[in-house]
Chains A and B, each alone.
Chain A
Amino acid sequence: MTAPAQSCRLLPYEAESRVFLRLRGRVAWATVRSMLSGARLRLSLVVLLSAMFWGSLYGLFFEAFTFLDSLHAEVISLLFNAFFSSLMVMLVFSTGILLYGGMYCSPEAKLLLTLPIREEAVFSHKFQEAVWFSSWGFILLGSPMLVAYGVVRDSPWTYFALLLPFMVSFVVIPATLGGIFCMLMVAWLPRLRLHAMTVACIAVAGGLIWMVWSTLSVSRADTMSAAWFEQTFSRLSITEQKLFPSWWLSSGLIEAARRDDGAAAVWPAFTEALKFLALLIANGMLLQLLAGWLAARCYRLGYSQLSGEVPARRRRRISWIDQALVNAGTAAGRPLRLLVVKDLRLFRRDISQWSQFVIFFGLLGLYFLNVRSFNYNNTYASMIGFLNLAVVGLILSTFTTRFVFPMISLEGRRFWILGLLPVHRDHIVWSKFLFSFVGGLLPCCGLVLLSDVMLGLSSRTILIHEIACLMLCLGLSGIAVGLGARMPDLREPSPSKIASGFGGTLSLVISSLFIMVIVVVAALPTHLFLVSHAFGAAGGPQRGALAWAAGPGGTIVSMALVVAIGLLATFVPLFLGLRSFRELEP
């Protein structure tokens, strides 16, 4: 064996960690600097929307805890346990999946595994990254809830000081478990990992759907009654297990927030909370040791196993839908249809696109199926119908921004193919628009119809909603495709990075404003009409402009405005996009 050159040596573990820490610091600083210099709009929007989201959640939880605190104080423990145990399961999965991507599929892992560093140091580095990405949602969602709880309970300052240590030490446990499962599965079950993950995901999703369904699928009369509460709580009590970290967290937080028995009881409650915190920290550290030990033994093995897998060759036949689409219509329109079919194929074969589509619209469908469980009067039902319309629009706008906006930019790398084809450039833009519009129209109109039927709305209101939904689909597709063609980023291969750039952010903001305008304009006459009937002569507008607005005349004008705004939002960005795309020099 040759001694290593004098210029280098193996580092102790602490030194490896310090180098990774420096790396992370430099990358974070460069990211912040580039965001401050190049993506101020996005950064401001993210901060503003996060603050609004946090504030709204805080208000919501404050009201909820005030209500629960006065009526059912013992319910808090049950709710905390249910919330944290669900979160625990989600963190195991999300961290495991993120670690799988970071440790086994990323170019960075390939670089790090050729350097003279410990496998456990690489694991630790990727683990911190995965924990950050998997748990920021918990911080954003959990912190307003816990702060509101502390405020409602008039908790001592120690409760607020312990919040962050509690949250961090809790997150480490399920995240490390996710990492351990991930490494074990890749090292020893490389061929079964996809099947195992699929089965586990289906089992968890099925369990969650069953819980939600069984909680909500009760007859109208029983909803929110004492029996309903009792039945729901008994179902949730399954999450109160003393061996679960979620129970340690819930109990620790409840102890830390205790002030019921006066100032004298604060200190014993605080020390009791510290015991739960110590339990969380000790278990987290033990699991970290175990994960480090495992990484040293099976990370390289797993990496090698996974690299040795040959992806199965999949032959794809031309589906009948594609064939039918290509052959339908005139010969002149064939190039356009071919482009749409190409995008349809890419969409079908990209699991990340259609799975998100199915999950989000599926969850919305589940919610709409259950809106009947709650008793609403006419005014509320109508308001909820319009809110549901807005939600459908917002979900669609996230898809058009995330998947449709980058489509033109992604063609940049293939522009030598499209550019040399005997196809007019306009066809490329129109094909994206058609793909987005038709793809969004069917699920959106279907969901809005489902929501309206479940809410028992009149056919007149359903018609208004469907027209508004049609305009939303048109406008959102026009905005995403038009701006995508107007502001393409032809050098960026990652669609998520294209969507999160300036153009994508602008598209999302304009889309959100458009949805708000359409929904408000469509809702106004109906709302005025219902208010006038609900309050009668005393409170409602019976005469004058407001009375006219609440009548058929107002509805016709509002629908005309909705259609006009919808067409404007569709064709102005498309016109700008088409003009710009014709002159584009890739």
Chain B
Amino acid sequence: MIEFDHVTRTYGPKTAVADLTLAIPRGELFAMLGPNGAGKTTTIKMLVGLLRPSRGNVRVSGYDLVRDPRNAHLHIGYVPDEPCLYDKLTGREFLWFIADMFGMPRHLAGERIAAEIEHFELGEFADDLAESYSLGMKQRLVFASSLLHDPDVLVLDEPMVGLDPRSVRIVKDLLKARTREGMTVFMSTHTLAMAEEMADRVGIMVRGQLRFLGTVDELRDQMALETTSLEQLYLELTSPRAAETGLGSP
């Protein structure tokens, strides 16, 4: 479903992502972890077609994001870290706009919009202008819009920011259900507990390089530490000492 093939992205002299090769199959929930500036957001921007790789290719459902971005986008749902809405549209109008842009038939769009409004509990404010929404309300609406066209791949950049505990629960249940149905999820997060709870595999990026790729159990085995928490493993792997000793290198 998602393929990064020797992808490098540079910003001037700085290499944000270095030779990333990664394949995420259908139905997997993948969590990308890493400290600030590790290259997670750059990776996500390349995955949704906002950035072009300096070298290598990114493909979603077999479509190259540079050569055929429109077809690739038909398969992607994207929840950015900062939700973007039209202030002067209501939530329902925004959902219709997205459904129209994905070329959804009217009757199907109507059904899906109603279902997502109910699912994300948007009904109370769906007909208010988005300018009056809180961050959490905006985030829920963006989640709903990203799932309208039933994408094969859902890309989430810090998805839980601004969500209240009940909304977090809704999102977690939804991600579990959708991945069981075959949707692939690529998630960047700093919430280690969530990654530990939800992810089939995790990738840990440090300074543009994928320092670890595998399950949390594999990480424990590789690190050979007594601790069992992902938090402690993560801190060990991303510490300056780990870079010097090559700890965790794949």
**A residues neighboring B (CB under 8 Å):** 1-2, 4-5, 7-11, 15-16, 19, 22-23, 26-27, 30-31, 34, 107-108, 110-111, 113-118, 300-301, 303-304, 307-310
Q: Is the CB–CB distance between B50 and A116 below 8 Å?
A: no
Q: Does B76 contact A (CB under 8 A)?
A: yes
Contact A110 B50 (CB under 8 A): yes
Find out whether the CB atom of A9 lies under 8 angstroms from the CB atom of B103: yes
Our pick among A8, A16, A304 for the contact of B149 (Cβ within 8 Å) is A8
Whether A19 contacts B51 by the Cβ 8 Å rule is no
Min CB–CB distance B80 → chain A (angstroms)? 7
Partner of A108, one of B12, B48, B84, B102: B84
A32 nearest CB neighbor, chain B only: B88
Please report the C-alpha to C-alpha distance between residue A4 and residue B60 in the assembled complex, in whole angstroms. Answer: 11
B108 close to A7 (CB less than 8 A) = yes
Nearest neighbor of A301 in chain B, beta-carbon distance: B52
Please give, as numbers and ranges, the residues of chain B lying within 8 Å of A19 by CB-CB distance: 97, 100-101
Cβ-closest chain A residue relative to B130: A30
CB distance from A329 to the nearest CB of B (A): 42
User: Is the Cβ of B62 less than 8 Å from the Cβ of A2?
Assistant: yes
Asked if residues B101 and A304 are in contact (CB atoms below 8 Å), the reply is no
Per-residue 0/1 for B14-34: is the Cβ within 8 Å of any A Cβ (1 yes, 0 no)?
100000000000000000000
Residue from A22, A114, A304, A307 within 8 A of B73 (CB atoms): A114
16 pairs of residues in contact across A and B, judged by CB atoms under 8 Å: A1-B71, A5-B75, A7-B102, A8-B74, A8-B104, A9-B74, A19-B100, A23-B86, A26-B93, A34-B88, A34-B129, A114-B50, A116-B74, A116-B102, A118-B70, A308-B51
Which of chain A's residues have a CB closer than 8 A to the CB of B88? Answer: 26-27, 30-31, 34
List B contacts of A7 (CB < 8 A).
102, 104-105, 108, 112, 149-150
Say how far A299's CB is from chain B's closest CB, in angstroms: 11
**Contact A2–B102 (Cβ < 8 Å):** no
Complex CA distance for A124 and B171, rounded to whole angstroms? 36
B89→A10 contact, CB < 8 A = no
Q: Give the CA-CA distance A11 to B93 in the complex, in Å.
A: 19
Contact present for A2 and B75 (CB under 8 Å): yes
Q: Kindly provide the distance from the CB of A339 to the nearest chain B CB, expressed in whole angstroms.
A: 30
Give 1 or 0 for each of B155-177: 1 = CB within 8 Å of chain A CB. Answer: 00000000000000000000000
Q: Which residues of B contact A5 (CB under 8 A)?
A: 74-75, 149-152
Residue of A nearest to B146 (CB): A114
Given contacts A19-B100, A304-B52, contact A10 B149 (CB under 8 A): no
- For A304, list chain B residues within 8 Å (CB): 50-52
Which residues of B are found within 8 Å of A23, using beta-carbon distances? 86, 89, 97
Report the contact-size class of chain B (Cβ under 8 Å from the partner).
35 or more
A-B contact count (CB 8 A): 114
The answer to whether B104 and A114 have CB atoms under 8 Å apart is no
* Majority DSSP secondary structure for residues of B touching A: loop
Chain B positions within 8 Å of A, measured between CB atoms, are 1, 9-12, 14, 45, 48-52, 61-63, 69-71, 73-76, 78, 80, 82, 84, 86, 88-89, 93, 97-98, 100-105, 108, 112, 129, 149-152
On chain A, the residues within 8 Å of B78 by CB distance are 114
For B26, give the chain A residue with the smallest CB separation: A2
Question: Do A303 and B149 have beta carbons less than 8 Å apart?
Answer: no
**Chain B, residue nearest A121 (CB):** B101
Q: Collect the chain A residues with CB atoms within 8 Å of residue B12's CB.
A: 308-310
The smallest beta-carbon distance between A33 and chain B, in angstroms, is 9
CB of A497 to closest CB in B, whole Å: 10
Chain A residues within 8 Å of B97, by CB = 19, 22-23
In whole angstroms, how far apart are the Cα atoms of A381 and B151 in the complex?
A: 73
Contact yes or no, B103 A11, CB < 8 A: yes
Top 4 closest pairs, chain A to chain B, by CB: A1-B62, A2-B61, A30-B88, A116-B73
- Determine whether the beta carbon of A300 is less than 8 Å from that of B49: yes
**Known: A7-B150, A9-B103. Contact between A116 and B51, CB under 8 A?**
no
Query: Assuming the A-B contacts A7-B104, A307-B50, are A116 and B70 also in contact, with contact meaning beta carbons closer than 8 angstroms in the complex?
Result: yes
User: Whose C-beta in chain A lies nearest to the C-beta of B112?
Assistant: A7
Q: Which of A15, A107, A111 contacts B103 (CB 8 A)?
A: A15
Partner of A4, one of B10, B71, B86, B100: B71
Name which residue of chain A comes closest to B153, CB basis.
A2
- A111 smallest CB distance to B (angstroms): 5
Whether B102 lies near A8 (C-beta < 8 A) is yes
B93 contacts across to A, CB distance below 8 A: 26
Contacts of B80 in A (CB 8 A): 110
A413 to chain B: closest CB distance in Å?
Answer: 14
Residues B10 and A1 in contact, CB atoms below 8 Å apart: no
- Do A308 and B101 have beta carbons less than 8 Å apart? no
Contact B11 A308 (CB under 8 A): yes
Chain A: minimal CB distance from B34 (Å): 18
Residues of A within 8 A of B71 (CB): 1, 4, 10, 116
With CB as the reference atom, state the residue of chain B lying closest to A108: B84
The residue in B10, B45, B62, B73 that gathers the most chain A C-beta atoms within 10 A of its C-beta is B73
Q: Of the candidates B11, B49, B100, B103, which one forms a contact with A113 in the assembled complex, judged by CB atoms under 8 Å apart?
A: B49
Cβ A27 vs Cβ B89 within 8 A = yes
Q: In the complex, A8 Cα to B51 Cα: how many Å?
A: 24
Q: Which residue on A lies nearest to B53, using beta carbons?
A: A304
> Closest chain B residue to A111 by CB distance?
B84
Question: Across the interface, which residues of A come within 8 angstroms of B100, CB to CB?
Answer: 19, 22
Contact B10 A30 (CB under 8 A): no
Q: What's the Cα separation between A27 and B48 when bound, in Å?
A: 26
Q: Which A residues lie within 8 Å of B84 (CB)?
A: 107-108, 110-111
B73 with A115: CB separation less than 8 A: yes
Q: Which residue of A lies closest to B90 (CB)?
A: A30
Q: Are B14 and A310 in contact (CB under 8 A)?
A: yes
Q: How far is the CA of A8 from the CA of B71 in the complex (A)?
A: 11
What is the CA–CA distance of A307 and B62 in the complex, to the nearest angstrom? 25
Report the Cα distance A2→B2, complex, angstroms: 12
Q: Which residues of chain B have C-beta atoms less than 8 A from A300's C-beta?
A: 49, 52, 69
- Is there an interface contact between B70 and A4, defined as CB atoms closer than 8 Å? no
Q: A7-B104, A15-B103, A114-B50 are in contact. List 16 more A-B contacts (CB 8 A).
A: A1-B63, A1-B71, A2-B61, A2-B75, A7-B102, A8-B102, A10-B74, A19-B100, A22-B97, A26-B88, A26-B89, A27-B86, A27-B89, A115-B102, A303-B50, A308-B10
